[in-house]
Amino acid sequence: MKKLVGLVVVVALAGGGWWYWKTQSSSASTTTDASVRPTTATIENRDIRFSVTAAGEIGPSEQVSVRPEVNGKISVLTVDVGDSIKKGELLFQLDDSELQAQRASADKEVERAQLQVEQAERDYKRSIELFKDQLVSQQVFDDSKTTWGLAKNTLEKNQKQLDITLEQLKKTKVSAPFDCTVLTRPVSVGQAVSGSGGFNSGTEVLTIANLNDLIINAHINQADVTRLNAKQDVEVTVEAVPGLKVIGKVERIAPQATIKNNIKGFATRILLKDVDKRIRPGMTANISIPVASADNVVASPLAAVFTELNSDTKQLERFAWVKSGDDWERRSITIGVSDYFFVEVTSGLKSGEIVSLEDKAKSSKTPKKAPPAKGVASVNASTGGVAGAASAPRSSHNAP
């Protein structure tokens, strides 16, 4: 019986060991296959787009802090946060009872001064006739003339005071200067507020903004700002609204650089067109600045393009290894527009040809055809690098 149990244990251990070995072998095989990168690629026709990006914050094109011009107490405040207001509609009104009393008093003062002017004018005209007939002295004549002048001055003074009171009464009603939306309302009905001419530039009653036209305030890196022009269209995506793309137009670019987040750049204002209702002030926007593009061109992976320096001409020469039967042929090429992955080939390659992603001249097997051109020395030991000005420029926002 003991021998039988021992035999079962041995068989179980052997089976478990075989299963573990099989599992590990399969896993290692899978890992090895996954780690093998392709060594060839096929030339194809495709569109190439290269752009750099910058981030900015969305805000209203017009935003106003509404403050009364005169002191008073809020008597009417019917709007609230989020309300849409048309131009000319009432935003709030101050209690004008005190000003109305001042107006009534000023009206009476004006009427009184007007009567005094009329009386002084009659006395002066009468003194003129009497003075001609030598019935009054020169002093009496001069006094009547002076009294008439003083009465006119008093009337003018009282009239100005009345005009000031009437103007203050107009300022107790504040209307919307444009079509707007209420963003904030920090006060309530019954609260006393100070005018903008007083302490701390007045009390803020409302903040309003025009949300029909939104802008993006962006800080464009000095390396990228030269690619922007006023009135240029740019593509904008909004992080808070996945999949949404809108078109913006560059309105203005600051003439002088500033430093923000330790990056020297230029403040740029971009106006959004056809604003989606889901876009709101304060959201973050990503701006795509087009640099270069080419449609339906012969394109090669960057990894298939190699660069060497010609020791005779002292110029960079580009080439690719093209499949020719069972061998590889070295072929000079000319490139154009590129992005971070593909480059336009203007001459030297055709769509459908197979190219190597490795420099065959540096592999263990020496190619049988097309040895390197005379006078050309390699300056690029790694594969996949397009050196020189034709490659895609680097951006501080998108590193290839």
Q: 285 in a domain, yes or no? A: yes
Radius of gyration (Cα) for the chain, nearest Å?
Answer: 43
Q: Do 197 and 238 lie in a common domain?
A: no
Provide CB contacts within 8 A for 294, sequence distance 6+: 47, 48, 336, 337, 344
- CATH number assigned to the domain comprising residue 178: 2.40.50.100
Report the domain count for the chain.
3
Q: Do 186 and 76 lie in a common domain?
A: yes
Tell me, what's the pLDDT at 202?
87
Q: Do 185 and 159 lie in a common domain?
A: no
Q: 31 in a domain, yes or no? A: no
Tell me, what's the pLDDT at 198?
62
What per-residue string of b and e applies to 113-135 under the rule 16 or more CB within 10 Å gives b? bbebbeebeebbeebeeebeeee
Joined tokens for residue 230 = 């006023």
Tell me, what's the pLDDT at 397?
36
Extended strands (E) in 34-129: 40-42, 44-66, 72-76, 84-85, 90-94
Q: 357 in a domain, yes or no? A: no
The pairs formed by 166-171 with CB atoms below 8 angstroms and a separation of 24 or more are: 166/103, 168/70, 168/99, 169/96, 169/99, 169/100, 169/103, 171/68, 171/69, 171/70
Q: Do 90 and 111 lie in a common domain?
A: no
Q: Do 72 and 200 lie in a common domain?
A: yes
Q: Do 221 and 284 lie in a common domain?
A: yes
pLDDT tens sequence across 349-381? 999 999 999 888 876 454 444 444 443 333 333
pLDDT tens sequence across 168-193? 999 999 999 999 999 999 999 999 99
Q: Which of 145, 170, 195 is the last residue of a domain?
A: 170
Tell me, what's the pLDDT at 4?
43
Tell me, what's the pLDDT at 308?
87
Q: Do 217 and 193 lie in a common domain?
A: no
Q: Which residues of the chain have pLDDT under 50?
A: 1-14, 16-17, 19-21, 25-34, 364, 366-400
- CATH number assigned to the domain comprising residue 242: 2.40.30.170
Q: 400 in a domain, yes or no? A: no
* Residue 232: CB atoms within 10 Å: 14
Domain encompassing residue 146: 97-170
Residue 57 pairs in a beta bridge with 217, 284
Q: 334 in a domain, yes or no? A: no
Q: Which of 291, 313, 345 is the last residue of a domain?
A: 291
Q: 267 in a domain, yes or no? A: yes
Q: Do 185 and 219 lie in a common domain?
A: no
Contact 304, 343 (CB under 8 A): no
Q: 256 in a domain, yes or no? A: yes
Provide CB contacts within 8 A for 128, sequence distance 6+: 141
Q: Do 236 and 279 lie in a common domain?
A: yes
Q: Which of 267, 291, 315 is the last residue of a domain?
A: 291
Instruction: Report which of 238, 215, 227 is spatially closest to residue 265, judged by C-alpha positions.
Output: 227
Q: Is the pTM of this model over 0.75?
A: no
Instruction: Report which of 366, 380, 379, 382 is spatially closest to residue 328, judged by C-alpha positions.
Output: 366
Q: Do 104 and 84 lie in a common domain?
A: no
Q: Do 76 and 187 lie in a common domain?
A: yes
Q: Do 137 and 76 lie in a common domain?
A: no
Q: 144 in a domain, yes or no? A: yes
Amino acid of residue 12: A
- CATH number assigned to the domain comprising residue 134: 1.10.287
Contact 249, 293 (CB under 8 A): no
